[in-house]
Chains A and B, each alone.
Chain A
Amino acid sequence: EVQLLESGGGLVQPGGSLRLSCAASGFTFSSYSMSWVRQAPGEGLEWVSIISAGVISTFYADSVKGRFTISRDNSKNTVYLQMNSLRAEDTATYYCAKGAVSATRHFDNWGQGTLVTVSS
């Protein structure tokens, strides 16, 4: 059974930093792209970033480019999201999502999310 467990969320002041982690199990982690998707309170879904399997490539939403960095450690089956220069508008639940088997930029498994609150 695929499991994705996010951690690292919390309250941070504007301008601060956080690193989110997503521990994966139940599948061959190194073979799949992984993404972060966020959802502001009461709002819809917003894709944040993706990291490929194999030869590493990364992509970001314009709203986080230059501030967030996605990375992965295949030896630990973990994907990370380093978030710097945080803003109030980054407040959201952050979900880790696995790329779908036949469509890597769709998401076939999701974690339960970790809440990030940016406030003074």
Chain B
Amino acid sequence: EIVLTQSPATLSLSPGEGVALSCRASQSVGSYLAWYQQKPGQAPRLLIYDASNRATGIPARFSGSGSGTDFTLTISSLEPEDFAVYYCQQRNNWPLTFGGGTKVEIK
């Protein structure tokens, strides 16, 4: 099973700041990594698929990069609605796996 490690677990930031979230895989997943955003009481929302492709309707301030075992989700300037938990997920190997999440909270 591929283990995805997200760091840090929590980030405290202010609106307007930029942030880079990390997701590291225990073995290569190629480019087959997605990022999701989840707000309290809501279902997850797909942000990025296959490492760097923005999903439909996702603002340009969200971008993804990386391949192999190291991936990054970058939010260029945090909007108030961006404070949430972010998960990565790989689709290269069975079983499909998620990272443990990074919570981005308001400082």
Summed over the interface, the residue pairs from A and B with CB atoms below 8 Å come to a total of 70
With beta carbons under 8 angstroms apart, the residue of A59, A103, A110 that contacts B44 is: A110
Instruction: State whether the Cβ of A112 lies closer than 8 Å to any Cβ in chain B.
Output: yes
- Report the count of interface residues on B (CB-CB < 8 A): 26
CA distance A70 to B98 in the complex (A): 20
Residues of B within 8 A of A61 (CB): 95
B43 touches A112 (CB 8 A): yes
CA distance A110 to B42 in the complex (A): 10
User: Separation in Å of the A76 CB from the closest CB of chain B?
Assistant: 22
CA distance A12 to B43 in the complex (A): 23
Residues of A within 8 A of B87 (CB): 44-45
B56 touches A108 (CB 8 A): yes
With beta carbons under 8 angstroms apart, the residue of B38, B50, B56, B101 that contacts A106 is: B50
B98 touches A100 (CB 8 A): no
Instruction: State whether the Cβ of B45 lies closer than 8 Å to any Cβ in chain A.
Output: yes
A103 touches B43 (CB 8 A): no
**Cβ < 8 Å to A, chain B residues 55-107:** 55-56, 87, 89, 91, 94-101
Residues on B facing A (Cβ under 8 Å): 1, 32, 34, 36, 38, 42-46, 49-50, 53, 55-56, 87, 89, 91, 94-101
The contact sample of 30 A-B pairs, CB cut-off 8 A, is: A35-B96, A44-B100, A45-B89, A46-B98, A47-B89, A47-B95, A47-B97, A59-B94, A59-B95, A59-B96, A60-B95, A62-B95, A95-B44, A100-B55, A102-B50, A103-B32, A103-B34, A103-B49, A103-B50, A105-B32, A105-B96, A106-B49, A106-B50, A106-B91, A107-B44, A107-B89, A108-B55, A108-B56, A110-B43, A110-B44
Residues on A facing B (Cβ under 8 Å): 35, 37, 44-47, 50, 59-62, 95, 100, 102-113
